[in-house]
Amino acid sequence: MTVTTRFAPSPTGHLHVGNVRTALHNWLLAKQAGGRFLLRIDDTDAERSREDYVEAIRADLNWLGLVPDGEERQSARFDLYEREFQKLVAAGRVYRCYETAQELDLKRKVLLGRGLPPIYDRVALKLTEADHAARAEAGERPHWRFLLDHDAPIEWTDGIRGPQHFDPRQMSDPVVRRADGSWLYMLPSAIDDVGMGISHVLRGEDHVSNTATQVQMFVALGAEPPKFAHEALLVGTEGKLSKRLGSLGMAELREAGIEPQAVIALLARLGTSDPVDPALDADALAASFNLSHFGRAPARFDEADLARVNAAVIHRLPFAVVAGRLPPGMDEAAWDAIRPNLSTVAEAADWWRVVTGPVEAPAQSDEDRAYLGTAATMLEQVGADWAALTAALKEQTGRKGKPLFLPLRQALTGHDHGPEMAALLPLIGHNAALERLRAAAA
Ligand code: GLU
């Protein structure tokens, strides 16, 4: 069987960490099996769907490296939905209803008041053709429900949740089409999963009850249901995904200096028993991706974790990957020296300015100024070699530890902390270093 997965966002907003995680897991599932990962734009809702969101979704997936092997748009597939729908009409698997939202609400309240589950009572099934004709005459248009088969128990083995069982008698026949002819999510999605040859549907557990209904839709459409897996939802550190995190888009993350590799490394493993490993790229993650490692508890997304993974990713990013984002003149040696101190690539420019100067060094005590004068003399003898310089100074002055190193670092960089001086000093260079030491000694 070819594994074909899909990511099916509605273009009514930007992708956030929660749906990026779903996209990634579907990508990993497909790649692992050498299969296909498809993007399906769920834009049946013409009012709320926006073209700029469609473009942003494509751009975000691209940035993350989750490039789809194909793309479909629901708005281009209405003819297909109509054809399949007419077959269901002919087979009696969809039926016309006229209740208003208020009437339905009242029915639900009555049932709940009697301690009964609020299941639709199917009274519309009793309408005759004459009733429908009279309604049409009066200008009323029906909405349509899918007729669940009460005699076919709903079962599937969920890739994450294990065996699932639903009793269709305990479920309402879902509305699949509105009176204005527009589609609700449920039926077009099942038609597309069949039409696009989707073998695995991996999505959030908020879709479990939809799956129960869709299992019967697949059968009614004459197709074998795909394999389903439902992941526990993503929550923030304080419980549910906060409004801010829930809407945190890839553009904001990129702006904040988060690398796509960090998003991938963290989200691939979030909710599983596998540790996050910043060394693994998407292909390596695909090889080790395993649905059975997913837990049932909500997956916690912590921005601090993302920042940590991001730093770890940056500390191993090769020069070639970042070269275009570094300040002019900053070469591979400089990147390698500075990279371990970065939490974002943009910070490289700050350290590069320290290399190129000028730097503003703190004022030193008389004693340290004298020491820095000695350092300048030593530097002239040993050159811009940190080990040689400090060894010579240690010998000459008897200083060691902080008094040996800190005044030098301060004079040479203007900072108390930073990249390894052994790597930084040759980048600063002999002449500039000499100048800085003399200035600090003066
Ligand atoms: N557009 C639906 C959503 O975003 C797709 C759900 C599905 O994966 O079937 O929830």
Bridge partners for 157 per DSSP: 163
Q: Note the pLDDT of residue 242.
A: 65
Q: Note the pLDDT of residue 235.
A: 86
Q: Note the pLDDT of residue 243.
A: 64
Residues of the chain with pLDDT under 70: 239-247
3 state DSSP class of 97: strand
The CA–CA distances, whole Å, from 171 to 213, 237, 416 equal 8, 34, 67
pLDDT in tens, 282-330: 999 999 999 999 999 988 898 899 999 999 999 999 999 999 999 999 9
What is the Å distance from ligand 1's center to 217 Cα?
Answer: 16
Residue nearest to atom 3 of ligand 1 (CA): 9
Same domain (yes/no): 339, 403: no
Q: What is the best residue among 185, 192, 215, 231 to mutate for testing ligand 1's pocket, by most ligand atoms within 8 Å of CB?
A: 185
Q: What is the best residue among 4, 24, 42 to mutate for testing ligand 1's pocket, by most ligand atoms within 8 Å of CB?
A: 42
CA atoms within 13 A on the CB side of 270: 29
What is the Å distance from ligand 1's center to 362 Cα?
Answer: 58
Same domain (yes/no): 337, 404: no
1 with 199: CB under 8 angstroms? yes
Q: Note the pLDDT of residue 241.
A: 67
Residue 271 tokens read as 């909710």
The verdict on residue 36 lying in a domain is no
- Domain boundary (355, 382, 413) is at 355
Residue nearest to atom 10 of ligand 1 (CA): 9
Return the ligand 1 atom nearest residue 7 CA. Answer: 8
* Alpha helices per DSSP H over 221-314: 243-246, 250-255, 260-269, 282-288, 303-314
The verdict on residue 34 lying in a domain is no
Same domain (yes/no): 369, 347: no
Same domain (yes/no): 365, 401: yes
3 state DSSP class of 425: helix
The verdict on residue 361 lying in a domain is yes
3 state DSSP class of 364: coil
What is the Å distance from ligand 1's center to 275 Cα?
Answer: 28
416 with 409: CB under 8 angstroms? yes
b/e code 385-417 from CB counts within 10 Å (16+ = b): ebeebbebbeeeeebeeeebbebbbbbbbbbee
Q: What is the best residue among 15, 21, 73, 207 to mutate for testing ligand 1's pocket, by most ligand atoms within 8 Å of CB?
A: 207
- What's the Rg (C-alpha) of the chain? 32
Whether 203 lines ligand 1, by a CB cut-off of 6 Å, is yes
Q: At 223, phi and psi to the nearest 5?
A: -125, 155
Same domain (yes/no): 371, 415: yes
The verdict on residue 347 lying in a domain is yes
What is the Å distance from ligand 1's center to 189 Cα?
Answer: 8
Q: At 429, phi and psi to the nearest 5?
A: 90, 160
pLDDT in tens, 84-105: 999 999 999 999 999 999 999 9
Whether 39 lines ligand 1, by a CB cut-off of 6 Å, is no
pLDDT in tens, 200-243: 999 999 999 999 999 999 999 999 999 999 999 888 877 666 66
Q: What is the best residue among 4, 5, 10 to mutate for testing ligand 1's pocket, by most ligand atoms within 8 Å of CB?
A: 10
pTM of structure: 0.91
The verdict on residue 121 lying in a domain is yes
Among 56, 124, 63, CA closest to 258:
63
In sequence order, which residues have a C-beta less than 8 Å from that of residue 282 and are 6 or more positions away? 27, 28, 31, 65, 66, 264, 268
Bridge partners for 163 per DSSP: 157
What is the Å distance from ligand 1's center to 199 Cα?
Answer: 16
Same domain (yes/no): 351, 431: no
User: Count of domains in the chain?
Assistant: 3
Whether 9 lines ligand 1, by a CB cut-off of 6 Å, is yes
Same domain (yes/no): 426, 372: yes
Bridge partners for 95 per DSSP: 145
Same domain (yes/no): 346, 420: no
Q: Note the pLDDT of residue 272.
A: 92
Same domain (yes/no): 91, 171: yes
In sequence order, which residues have a C-beta less than 8 Å from that of residue 61 and are 6 or more positions away? 7, 15, 23, 39, 67, 68
348 with 332: CB under 8 angstroms? no
Whether 377 lines ligand 1, by a CB cut-off of 6 Å, is no
Whether 189 lines ligand 1, by a CB cut-off of 6 Å, is yes
Residue 27 tokens read as 């990508």
The verdict on residue 207 lying in a domain is no
Q: Note the pLDDT of residue 258.
A: 96
33 with 273: CB under 8 angstroms? no
Residue 2 tokens read as 């070819």
Q: Note the pLDDT of residue 21.
A: 95
99 with 73: CB under 8 angstroms? no
Query: Domain containing 403 — which CATH number?
Result: 1.10.10.350
Q: Note the pLDDT of residue 239.
A: 67
Same domain (yes/no): 416, 428: yes
Q: Note the pLDDT of residue 1.
A: 77
Q: What is the best residue among 27, 189, 214, 228 to mutate for testing ligand 1's pocket, by most ligand atoms within 8 Å of CB?
A: 189
Same domain (yes/no): 428, 342: no
Same domain (yes/no): 344, 366: no
- Domain boundary (309, 334, 355) is at 355
Domain residues for the domain of 345 are 319-355
Whether 42 lines ligand 1, by a CB cut-off of 6 Å, is yes
Whether 8 lines ligand 1, by a CB cut-off of 6 Å, is yes
45 with 86: CB under 8 angstroms? no
Query: Domain containing 171 — which CATH number?
Result: 3.90.800.10
The verdict on residue 269 lying in a domain is no
The verdict on residue 305 lying in a domain is no
What is the Å distance from ligand 1's center to 197 Cα?
Answer: 16
